[in-house]
Amino acid sequence: MEIGEKIKLEIDNITINYCFSCGMCTGGCPSARITDSEYNPRRILHRAVIEGKLDDDIWLCANCYTCQERCPTKTKVTDIVSLMRRIYVKNNGIPEFIKPLIENLHTYGFTAKIGSFENKRRERMGLPRIEHTDEIRRIIERIENE
Partner 1 sequence: MSKNKYAYFIGCTTPSRVPNYDLSTRRIMDRLGIKLIDMPNAGCCGLYYELIDELTHLSMAARIISIAEDLKIDLMVICNGCNGSLIRANKKLRQNPEIKDKVNEILADIDREFRGIIDVKHYVRVLWEDIGIDRIKKNVVKELNIKVGAHYGCHLLKPSDDIKFDNPKEPQSLDQLIEITGAKSIDYYDKQLCCGGYVLTADKRVAYTMAGEKLRNVRSAGADIMVTVCPFCNVIYDANQRAIETEIKEGFNIPVLHYPQLLGLAMGYSFRDLGLEQNRIRINPKLFE
Interface contacts to partner 1, rule CB under 8 A:
10, 30-31, 34-35, 39, 59-66, 68-69, 76, 78-79, 82, 85-86, 89, 94-95, 97-98, 101-102, 105, 108-114, 118, 121-122, 125-133, 135-136, 138-140, 142-143
> Whole-angstrom Cα distance, residue 77 to residue 146?
30
> Based on CB atoms, which residue is closest to partner 1, 20 or 135?
135
> Based on CB atoms, which residue is closest to partner 1, 50 or 100?
100
**Among candidates 95, 93, 64, 97, which has minimal Cα distance to 81?**
64
Phi/psi-derived region of residue 75, left when phi > 0, alpha when psi is between -120 and 50, beta in every other case: beta
> Based on CB atoms, which residue is closest to partner 1, 46 or 138?
138
Q: Find the shortest distance in angstroms from Cβ 62 to partner 1.
A: 5
Q: Find the shortest distance in angstroms from Cβ 104 to partner 1.
A: 8
**Among candidates 54, 60, 9, 12, which has minimal Cα distance to 34?**
60
> Based on CB atoms, which residue is closest to partner 1, 49 or 83?
83
